[in-house]
Structure formats: C-alpha cells, structure tokens
Amino acid sequence: MTKQIYDFSEGNMKMRDLLGGKGAGLAEMTNMDLPVPHGFTITTEACHDYQRRQELSEQLLAELDQSLSALSRLTGKQFNGSDHPLLLSVRSGAAISMPGMMDTILNIGLNDQTVIALAELTGNERFAYDSYRRLLAMFGNVVDGIPEDDFDQILTDTKIANNYESDLDLTIDDLKEIVAKFKNLYENYDHGGFPQDPKEQLLAAVNSVFDSWNNHRAQIYRRQNNISEDLGTAVNIQEMVFGNYGEDSGTGVAFTRNPSTGEEGLFGEYLLNAQGEDVVAGIRTPKPVSVLKESMPILYEQLLDIAKKLENHYRDMQDLEFTIENGKMYLLQTRSGKRTPTASVKIAVDQVNEGLLSKKEALLRVEPESVSRMLHPEFEEEDLRQHEILTTGLPASPGAASGQVYFTAQDAKQASDNNKKVVLMRADTSPEDIEGMIVSQAIVTSRGGMTSHAAVVARGMASTGVVGAHELEVDYQKKVAKVKNQLIHEGDWVSVDGTSGNLYLGRIKTTDATIKGELSVLLGWAKEASKMGVYTNADTPKDFQKALDFDADGIGLTRTEHMFFKPERLLQMRRLILAEDAAGRKDPLKKLLQMQQGDFYEIYKLARDKEVTIRLLDPPLHEFLPHDEKEIEVVSKQTQISSEKLKDRIDSLKESNPMLGHRGDRLAVTFPDIYEMQVQAIMNAVVRLHNEGVEVSPHIMIPLTNSKQEMAWVRNLVVKQIDRVSTENDIAVKYTVGTMMEMPRACITADAIAECSDFFSFGTNDLTQLTFGYSRDDIGSFVPAYIKEGILPVDPFQTVDTEGVGELMKIAVVKGRKTKKDLPIGVCGEVGGDPKSIEFFEEIGVTYVSCSPYRVPIARLAAAQAHIRSVVNEPQFEKV
Ligand code: ADP
Ligand code: MG
Ligand code: MG
C-alpha cells in the first residue's frame, strides 16, 4: 500500500481527496510560510483501510512512529517527555467540509506526570491543569462515550459552589479537583480509567476519529448534503498551541469578508484565554475581531495580512481558525467560507473588480438556485422570530405574503374586491379557480405536488405558493381549516413562506427584493457568457413585464387559454362550447376575438422587438364548463339554455382521460373556427400595430402535434388566415408556425414534422407524462415513494429525465435539424427553469429555454454556467 501519512510540508491544496479539506489547507498554508503548528495527516485511504479491517494496520502504526519521531525532532519536544512534553491535537477532516460533524481531541499527551512537567516548564500551573481537564473531557466523550453533560455538570457545580461568573475564575486548586473528579467519571463508566500512556491516547483518538465518520449525526449530514459515503475522513495530528495560556493568548474564527452581506473586511470573533471550541460553544461571549484592532494592534494587522494573502491565494472568501499563544499568532484552518446568496453574488462581483477572478470564474461561483432567494419578498427576520410555524408544505412558489384566508375562488375574489389581502386556501385548485388565484397574495393547498395546478399557476404568476401541506384539513362546508388542533376560520390572517414551505398564523412584515447592484451586474455577464437564450412563459402583460424586468429575451410560451378565465370571457367561452353548430358559435367567437386581440396587442406592444410565441388553445373544452348544480343554474340563466340541456351537453363532453382526449390541435380539426378566431385575433393586433408604425412578426405554436400530416393540416389552416388578413390589409407579415414537441411520436418522427414546422418547442410536462405514463396531476400518491426507495432519482417533472425523456429530445433535435439545419428549438416546460436540466439542454443543442418570470435570472445564470463548462474545463472549486 502507498504511504499513508503526509507531513504538512508534503501536501498541498489540490490533495483534498487524499488529505481531506483541513489537511490540504494546513499543508497549503505551511507551504505559504504562514505560521501553522507542525503536524502531519493520515490519509483518507488509510481510513478506508481501517473501515475494512476495523483496526489500524501495521504499516500505519510504523509510519505513525516515524512521523512522531520527526515531529519530536522538529519541535524539540518529546511525546511523554518529562522536560518538554509534546502535546497533540487529533483532528478529523473529510474532503468536503462537514463542520462539527466529526470529532477532534486536543491536548493529547497529558497525564499525571506530563501535566506536572508542563506546569514546571511554563511556570503556569493553572494553564497546565486547565489543559488536562479539557483533555479528560474530550477524550472521555469521544473515545469512551461518557456524556458531555456529565463533565459539564462537574464544572458548573464547582462554579456555583464558589459563586464564580466564568470558567476564568477557576483556581489552580479547583482545576486539580476537577481533574480528579473527571478521572473518577471514567471509573463510574467502567472503562478501566483514563489511559496514562500518551501513545495509547493517540491511537485511541485516531481510531475514534475514523469511527466518527460513521457516527449518526455525520451520516444524517451527508444524506442531507448529498455527500458520498465513500469519501472517508483524514486525521490530522498537530502540535498544540495554547490559547488558554493567559491573557495574552486566545482563540478565534474569522471570515475574510462578511459572510452575510459580502462586504469587504475581516469579520469574526475571538475569546481571550480560551481553547478550541470555546468560541462557538458559548462558554463566554466572544468579542468581534475588530476589538483586536485596539487591544492587540500588531496581531490584528498580522491577521489582516494573512487573511488577504489567503484570499488572494485561494481566490475565494476564506473561513479561518486562529489561536494566539502568548502574543504569537497561529493559523489552524482555512476553507472556503459558507455564505448567503447575497454575499455570494457580491463577493463574486467584487473579486472580479479587484482583478482576483475572471468573469467566467465569478459566474461559476454562484449557485443558480440561490439567486431565487434574492428575488422575492421575504419576511422580516425580526418579526418572523415572533411567530411559530403552524405547519409546512412543499415550497411550490417562493416569496412571502400575509393575507386573510378564503376557501373558494369566488370568496377570495369578492374579498379582494373589497380591498382585502387574500390567501386562497384549498385542498387543491383547478383552472376555474384562476381568478381567485390571481387576486391572492398566496395560494395554499393541502394536496398536490410541485407540478400540481396550484404550484404551476402560482409560479407562473409569481405569487407565493405552498402546496401539499398534508396536515391541513380544509372543510369547505364550514369554511374552516384544521391543523392539528388549531382552527383557521375564513378571514383569519395567515402568513405563507413559499421559499421554506412554512405557514404561520397572523401577519408578518415583509421586505421586497428586486434585481439591483451586484446581481444585475452578474446577470449581465451571464447573458454575454451564454449560448442559449432565456425566454419566459407569460400569459398576461403583467407576467411579461416582470420577466422583462428580469431581462428575459422574449416570450417562449403564451398560453391563450388562461385569457379565457375572466368572468366575461368565460361566459362567451361557455356559449361557444355549448353552441350546437357553427352558426351558434359565430357570436361568441366574435366577442372572444375582440378580447383576445386586445390582449395580444398589449403583449406585442410591451415586447417591442422581442419575440413572442403564442400557443393556440390547448386544454380540453370541458375545463371551461360549470361543474356543480349551483354554477349550472347561474350559467343556465346567463346563456338562456335550460339546465337539463346544459347537463346533457356537459355529460357529452365528459371524457375518461381528458389529458389524452379531445384537446390541443385535435380541437382545431373538429372546431376549426376556434383556431381561426385566435389567428385572426393575433393578426388584428399585428395590423393595428403596423398602422401605429410597429412591425411585429407573429410566432404561432401548435400544441400536441403527433405527425407531419396533422401539422400540415393545422399549419394550412393557420397560414390561410394569416394570408387572408395580410391581403385584406395589404401588408407583408413575416411569421413562423411551429409545433410543441410533447408527444413521443412527434419526437420520433421529428424529421418529417420539421418539413412543415418553422420551430420546435419541447413541452416537457406532457412529454414526461406520456413517456413515463405518469399522470402529472396524480403523481403525488406514488412518486415520493419512488424517490424514497431510490427507484427514481428525482421527480422527473422537476429535473429532466435524461435517460428516457432526454433521449427522445435528443432524437427530435437530431432529426429535426437533419431536415432544417438551423431549426430553432426551445424548451418551455417546467424543467426549462431547472439548472440541472439546463445543463443537459446545452449539451443537446437546445436554442433557448422558457420559464416562469421569476426563474428567468436563475435560468440565465444556469445557461451561462452550462456554456462555460461545455467550452473549457474550468477548475472545480470547493462547494460552499
Ligand atoms: P472542526 O472540524 O469541528 O472545526 P477542528 O479540528 O478544527 O474541528 O478543531 C476544533 C478547534 O480545536 C480548532 O478550531 C482549534 O481552536 C482547536 N485546535 C485544533 N488543533 C489545535 C492545535 N494544534 N492547537 C490549538 N488548538 C487547536
Ligand atoms: Mg475547525
Ligand atoms: Mg402540453
């Protein structure tokens, strides 16, 4: 087996996998000539070896002896020495930082003899016994599993008995007594006492650090953070330096920039006369490092200097651990600092301006998903702390909002008309609820998944949404909802956090966020650095405006059906569907035409020179019809059709599988006048704008296409209308007619379909649904179990399934471009805004993605990253 121990001087920052993050950092700092106490690292390979054989190998033991001798020579101290005892820390450290998850033991090498030697050598008896009691507590806890509380209790009892305020008041005699009591604890636990032999201590400590890789909290942490079980931990063995030596000593942690805001300047805390974890453990209240500036100015300057050096060297914000022994500074750790999304963006941009990073590197530094947390209103932290979480659902659409609860769309609408802020709370939602959803600050459902109707609509409208909050029981009859034993009545205030999925009672203040400052700079660079365009799915001018604020390149999908759900339009739509023949459809079509052309006009006007793709009617007709008795009565009055007849008509439109039924371009074939009306509405808007001096090129998209013949048929219908209106108005209009790619058959026959299609746009929701045979509205009952069992890696409606759905997409891209070399190909499904999926789309040559307005900046950054990674192999940075 290869060598299992590396001296700090032999390693470097690139050896993370072998030496762990901490070991690689200690080695790198050693080689930078920074003041690091001497030491060496046992490799992660040795950890694997240990895991297999469950004991330390002969080879490792031999190497350990050699390294100890070398360390002894280097430091002039002896392990178990009676003149100058060498004390060691034994520190865990995996390749990916898992702060506080595994174990570290300090002051190894102390025993009843060496503690006296140390006291004599230093003339500091208090310090010697303070170190000894710390070793006893850490060793007892880590190696022998004696509860930390048992040690703490003894300390606390001593402090109380003597009326001490802090551990600093403990006298030499107190510490000696505590040491004796600590040793007794070992006897109580029947572990044969604390081992006096330093070597035995060291080996037991190394064993325990290896074992701590598998402790419960480390396992949970790895699972939560997707860290591989196979990494293993390294063990760092290092000469101790002492922050508990006296008032000229101390220990601290510091970030090279503010990890919360990203502002420049050293940020951190320290404690004088303290050791190890005292700072984080809250033994005493630490002081901000800025205080060092006054109390120890020279050391402060030194720390500042080191911080700068490390940042320049690592080219990233660092999180440092340092210890001051008797006025001398030592560095004990450096790693990339964890930071908030805001800080991550500010630091990346600042470091480009400082010449530390290239723009491309900066773009790779920011997690796309984290950007979403910067774009929504958030609850004010202060106010949030005063409120208890009522229940939690899926975080379907980010944002934070408070409002009064209503259980039906109508009630919500009415309340909103009366100037109330409304939260719509339901078991689930359907297209009829759209109006109530539009006026709501937030939407909450007890059922459904991340792609349920409520979730998709909430994201589309960029309103706050929490779905699938299972604990919530909604009773529409009584107009109450119940959570555990808490009742929520109509009109009660609740607050909804769509980023965490949490629900609260009462109102919580919010702060608003927009794209500004460094984020807007970064997104500008992202636009330059990406190949794919980023479009938006927008159904109303308001959505589109939001997306334009976020610098969308255009609209990749306008769903015309959402325009039909306002009450006046719904009535006309119903008259249209209920009509018995073409003659009966004439008048409602005329009215709908008027309304739709107004919508298109407004969207085109907003778009200026940006592309707008309009999709013709897609959902099954029965979605527009009333369902319960009461509604049927109302519609019967409005339409002058008897409720008997109405019910018959509704029954005749019922389908067993509406998703697979009479919808999309199938409607065009059976009711051509609907698509004709829609194209005419588009063209009327184009003509009107032409007369105002604005030239628009319409892009019309056909949903659900299965074959070339079908596409040719519908295309012919569309083109006829365009030509007719063009001729009538004597204008030349440039237009394109393309198709959604959402049927597996269409993907497979894409070369033929491309003959009569000017562009493709993957509708990944339907394509996934049909490829898997999963009804997307029903996945809530089984997909979570599939994910839990590892049968599915993720929800394929949220991250594209590259093996199956992705393969079909690849076929469609290749075949489509065989027919038309430059065929534009977009993606407009839910996964169009998902960073992982976007990486795949870059790979297969997609032209643009289209996503809900609030995901535009995320998709933009993801598209830039995908392109940067595809072009050059940028260095991989530590994941923070
Ligand atoms: P973690 O991985 O949990 O951060 P560390 O191995 O960094 O654990 O150890 C925790 C603390 O112990 C360090 O921050 C430092 O204060 C102290 N420590 C570790 N090694 C030494 C040493 N050689 N000398 C002095 N203090 C040390
Ligand atoms: Mg540490
Ligand atoms: Mg579809």
Q: Whose CA is nearest to atom 1 of ligand 1?
A: 100
Burial of 107 (0-12, 13-18, 19+ CB in 10 A): buried
Q: Which residues of 22-57 are buried (b: 16+ CB within 10 A; e: fewer)?
A: bbbbbbbbbebebbbbbbbbbbbbbbebbeeeeebe
Q: Do the strands 493-497 and 502-505 form a parallel or antiparallel pair, or are they unpaired?
A: antiparallel
Q: Which residues have a Cβ under 8 Å from the Cβ of 435 and sit 6 or more positions away?
A: 409, 413, 565, 566, 567
Q: What is the pLDDT of residue 562?
A: 78
CB 269 within 8 A of CB 99: no
What pLDDT digit, counting tens, does each position of 757-794 carry?
999 999 999 999 999 999 988 898 899 899 989 999 99
519 lines ligand 1 (CB under 6 A): no
Dump pLDDT digits (tens) for 461-478: 768 999 989 999 999 999
Ligand nearest 335 Cα, by number? 2
Residues facing residue 237 across a β-bridge: 40, 90
Looking at residue 278, what is its pLDDT?
79
Determine whether the shortest distance from the Cβ of 688 to ligand 1 is under 6 A: no
How high is the pLDDT of residue 878?
A: 45
Q: How far apart are CA 396 and CA 499, in angstroms?
A: 8
What separation in angstroms does the CA of 139 have from each of 105, 191, 204, 323, 817? 6, 12, 9, 21, 67
Report how far residue 698's alpha carbon sits from residue 729's, in angstroms, rounded to the nearest whole number.
16
Contact between 331 and 34 under an 8 Å Cβ cutoff? The reply is yes
Distance CA 781, CA 220 (A): 26
* CA distance readout (Å), 525 to 84, 522, 528: 58, 5, 5
Residue 93 CA to residue 20 CA, distance in Å, equals 5
Cα(618) to centroid of ligand 3, in Å?
7
- Which residues are tagged catalytic? 453, 828
Residue 492: HSE in the Cβ half-sphere, 13 Å Cα cutoff:
18
| Sequence-distant contacts of 688-697: CB under 8 A, at least 24 apart | 688/597, 688/601, 689/601, 689/604, 689/605, 690/729, 690/731, 694/604, 694/605, 694/608, 696/604, 696/607, 696/612, 696/733, 697/611, 697/733, 697/734, 697/735, 697/736
Cα–ligand 3 centroid distance for 126 (angstroms) = 75
Closest by alpha carbon to 242, among 86, 31, 100, 117? 86
The β-bridge relationship of strands 318-325 and 442-445 is unpaired
Q: Is the dihedral of CA 806, 808, 811, 814 positive or negative?
A: negative
pLDDT at 511: 80
Q: Dihedral of CA 783/788/790/793: which sign?
A: positive
Give pLDDT < 50 ranges for the chain: 874-880
Measured in angstroms, how far is the CA atom of residue 844 from the centroid of ligand 3?
21
User: Atom of ligand 1 at shortest distance to CA of 100?
Assistant: 3
Backbone angles phi, psi at 617, to 5 degrees: -45, 135
Q: Can you give the pLDDT at residue 876?
A: 44
> For residue 471, what pLDDT is reported?
93
Amino acid 230: pLDDT: 84
DSSP secondary-structure letter at 85? B
**Residue 314 DSSP class:** H
Mutate to test the pocket of ligand 1, among 77, 139, 332 (most ligand atoms within 8 A of CB): 332
Using an 8 Å Cβ cutoff, are 585 and 673 in contact?
yes
Please give the order of strands across the beta sheet that includes 464-467.
389-392, 502-505, 493-497, 400-406, 422-426, 442-445, 464-467, 394-397
DSSP annotation of 214 reads: T
Q: With 0.75 as the threshold, say if the pTM is over it.
A: yes
Q: What does DSSP say about strands 39-42 and 442-445: parallel, antiparallel, or unpaired?
A: unpaired
pLDDT digits (tens, 9 = 90+) for 652-692: 888 999 889 999 999 999 999 999 999 999 999 999 999 99
Among 105, 106, 139, 142, name the best residue to mutate to test ligand 1's pocket (greatest count of ligand atoms within 8 A of Cβ): 106
Centroid of ligand 2 to alpha carbon of 568 (angstroms): 65
241 lines ligand 1 (CB under 6 A): yes
Question: What is the whole-number distance in angstroms between the Cα of residue 772 and the centre of ligand 3?
Answer: 15
Strand 825-827 versus strand 848-851 pairing type: parallel
Task: For residue 850, give the 3-state DSSP assignment.
Answer: strand
* Token pair listed for 280: 């984080």
Q: Where are the alpha helices (DSSP H) in 54-113?
A: 58-75
